[in-house]
Amino acid sequence: MAVYSISRFLSSSSSYLFKNPRFLLTLRRPITTASAAENYWNLLQKYGSESNLERTLGKIRAKLDSSCVEQVLRRCSVNRTLLGLRFFIWAGQQSDYRHSTLIYSKACKLVEIDRRPQYLYDILRTYRIEGCLVSVKTFKVILNLCREAKLAEEALGVLRKMAEFDCRPDTTSYNVVIRLFSEKGDMDLAMGLMKEMALIDLYPDMITYVLMIKGFCNVGRLDDACGLFKVMTGHGCFPNVVAYSALLDGVCKSGSLERALELLGEMEKEGDNPTPNVVTYTSVIQSFCGNGRSMEALSILDRMGAHGCPPNRVTISTLIKGLCVEGSILEAYKLIDKVIVDGSVLNSGFYYSSFVVCLLRIKNMEEAEKLFRRMLASGVKPNGLACNSLIKEICSEGRALDGFGLYRELEKMEFLASVDTDIYSVLLVGLFQQGHLSEASKFASVMVERGVPLKTPYVDSIVDHLKKSGQKDLVSRLTNIGG
């Protein structure tokens, strides 16, 4: 009888439950990021010092992702910061999840680890007291927090703590600390750490050498950087394009341009692996141009072509700027014509526009305007920077009518998309101030039709001119745009 009653109850209950859409939704609803964060947060709130937090966290079968980790950290940052940090360190060790650089950055800000670095030592102390399982992975998460917060001394302290937990540092762990001291400019300590690696049978990898080479170059110790460059080959670490580029960049910054050319030659001879790329070549070109040797930099462009490395926008723009500054205007024209003929560039308008801007910067207004009009005559579309810079400069010379004429030409060629809205205000106030009232009124009407708002600091002046010319209705319509 009892069995029958239970059976009938289950039958009727199941019939009701599966007809109930709310119940079905509950069954089908996945565990969301918000609910996962809620689960972890609830556990952290209930945590007592007598238990092992990490072991308890592992029992929650909720999916970890960066959003979940951030939500938990944000909640903990109010009054449970240490627990939030422990959660973060635990999460970074899970096999199905990995902290991104962005989440490390957010964690440092939320925990304010740069102001409270003692938290890292407090957590290690807690691990020891509670008998928590601590691995190399644990220390790597902590070291990466130090890296993100730029805590060099603290990172060194954490590295030294590894032995206390029977954890053997690996090359990656050392690299984090070496990076921090290299960026800080303490190359003696960084070098000491590199030598220390050999004492525990660890070998520097390419990352180690690149960090050290960059560090030596940044503090002006080029001889040490070059010496390390030679040593790495003997240790079975053959220089690649990154290592060469790091040294080359340092040599260029020091002004040793002849040495830079030698290094570039070595790279070109080495073969496939360290072959210079466009960034490498451009770095050398920038150094030559920055030192007033743009004509010599042109030969580097030829080397790029010979090694099948086409220039990019930065390469050509750097050369154009350098040639303009040095007054080699004709050579700049030849350069653009050359790269267009060679097919090295896809958008000639960008390079001619760069040329216009460079000419304006060296106050060669006549040549800039001539080139701009030549572009329009050839159907070459100038970019926004060239259009806006030239019209502004024309107006500043008291030639608003010429600027307006240029605007009309751009309009005819359907190039107005390149003109910023503030240029309309510049032109309008210029036309009013220089007495071109008819053109100014027509242009103001155009602005109304196109919904172009007035821009500060020109509003008061334009409104005043419109009122004086008796166009109060136009004032109202203009000032209401975007309002």
DSSP states of 123-156: HHHHHHHHT----HHHHHHHHHHHHHTT-HHHHH
pLDDT of 347 higher than 90: no
The helix-helix angle for 81-91 and 66-79 (nearest 10°) equals 160
Rounded Cα distance, 70 and 376, in Å? 53
Q: What is the pLDDT of residues 32-79, one digit of tens each?
A: 567 889 999 988 888 765 568 898 898 887 889 999 999 999 999 988
In whole angstroms, give the CA distance from residue 356 to residue 3.
Answer: 93
Q: How far is CA 7 from CA 2, 63, 480, in A?
A: 9, 37, 75
pTM over 0.85: no
**Can you tell me the distance from the alpha carbon of 451 to that of 207, in angstroms, rounded to the nearest whole number?**
55
- For 95-128, the pLDDT digits (tens) are 999 999 999 999 999 999 999 999 999 999 999 9
Residue 331 in tokens:
């050579």
pLDDT above 70: residue 463: yes
The pLDDT value given to residue 32: 58
Angle, helix 278-290 to helix 294-306, in steps of 10 degrees: 170
SS3 category, 293:
coil
Confidence of residue 4 (pLDDT cuts 50, 70, 90): very low
Rounded CA separation 223/247 (Å):
11
